[in-house]
Amino acid sequence: MIKLYAMLIVIALLGGAGYGAYAYYKDSQARIATLTTNNAKLDGAIKTSEAAIASIQKDMKKVNTQLKKVSTDFADIRNQNSKLAQKLETIDLGILAINKPKSIERAINGGTKNAGRCFEILSGSPFTAREKEAKDAKSFNKECPWLWPGSTSTQ
């Protein structure tokens, strides 16, 4: 009877040890699988972060490009806007009007018409036949020659 109990105890101990080894193996495998998954996820997260940094850098480049372009365009626009003031500084409109009222009247009426046409073009008005056929910026519109489609200069 004692022999039987001893045998049962030995079997129980061996079984317990075997189960322990099996559980340890299973747990290790599960840990390895989790760590592998985590590693792969971290790898993906790093790639995503790198892509985000690249995207921000690219956007910053675009911001700088647009800022430079707008600054250049603004400088050109200010330059265009100063032309009339420069022209008016060199002439005495009152004296010219007294000496040549008819020709000055014609000139300012033509200038007013051209200046109005500049606003129309800026608002999206299609070009007239005369504007389409213009060979150069001056014949296109004397008040805003830079709006001529063939113009390379913004002056």
Site residues (CB under 8 A) for other proteins?
A: 1, 4, 8, 37, 40-41, 44, 47-48, 51, 55, 58-59, 62-63, 66, 69-70, 73-74, 77-78, 80-81, 84-85, 88, 92-94, 97-98, 101-102, 104-105, 108-109, 111-113, 115-120, 122-125, 144
Enter the tokens of residue 89. Answer: 């500084």
Q: Least distance in Å: CB of 47 to other proteins? A: 6
CB-nearer residue toward other proteins: 28 or 79: 79
CB-nearer residue toward other proteins: 135 or 152: 152
120, 95 Cβ separation under 8 angstroms: no
Q: Least distance in Å: CB of 142 to other proteins? A: 13
Q: Least distance in Å: CB of 135 to other proteins? A: 24
89, 78 Cβ separation under 8 angstroms: no
CB-nearer residue toward other proteins: 94 or 150: 94
| Chain position carrying tokens 């921000």 | 56
Each residue of 43-72: b (16+ CB within 10 Å) or e?
A: eeeeeeeeeeeeeeeeeeeeeeeeeeeeee
CA-based angle 122:125:127, to the nearest 5? 105
125, 132 Cβ separation under 8 angstroms: no
CB-nearer residue toward other proteins: 16 or 116: 116
